[in-house]
Amino acid sequence: MSTFTGFAHIAIVVRAMATSVDWYRRVLGFEPVGAVRPGPAGAGRPRQMMRHADSGLVLAVHEPERRSGDLFDPSRTGLDHFSLAVADRGALDDWTRYLDDLGASHSPVRDTGSSAFLTVTDPDGIVWELWAAAPQN
């Protein structure tokens, strides 16, 4: 069997394209890199492709014409959250200061013993976790 080599992109559905694109740019550092034309009739606005320069992660932000309009719910079957790796606990402390300076709400850093993490939630309720694995001995 062949394998995969990484993520091509993550696609999310949002309620308000401009609000979400601005949040992902300001808070997580993604930059718009272009739009993808919509698919079939009624698919909605083109997806806004965004790229994070340091990690190379690509995010496709989509605002379909027919969307539920409700907030994301991690308790429904499907996606719970996204988790992004950071270098270490010090990086989490840097993120905490950065998010505080932005006025972006986030959880405190939580220590599990084998890792530490904090969470930040986008305007649609999608949870992003910033995760630092404990050093290996």
User: Strands 47-52 and 58-62: what pairing?
Assistant: antiparallel
pLDDT band (50, 70, 90) for residue 83: very high
Homologous superfamily in CATH for domain 82-133 = 2,3-Dihydroxybiphenyl 1,2-Dioxygenase, domain 1 (3.10.180.10)
Q: What is the pLDDT of residues 104-135, one digit of tens each?
A: 999 999 998 889 999 999 999 999 999 998 87
Measured from the Cβ of residue 26, the count of other Cβ atoms closer than 10 Å reads 11
* Residue the block writes with tokens 């991690």: 74
- For residue 134, the 8-state DSSP code is P
Matching fold, domains 10-62 and 82-133: yes
Homologous superfamily in CATH for domain 10-62 = 2,3-Dihydroxybiphenyl 1,2-Dioxygenase, domain 1 (3.10.180.10)
Q: Please say whether the beta carbons of 60 and 9 come within 8 A.
A: yes
- Distance between CA 26 and CA 52 in Å, rounded? 12
Q: Give residue limits of the domains in the chain.
A: 10-62, 82-133
Q: Residue 85: its pLDDT value, please?
A: 92
- Distance between CA 55 and CA 34 in Å, rounded? 18
In this predicted structure, the answer to whether residue 39 has a pLDDT above a threshold of 60 is no
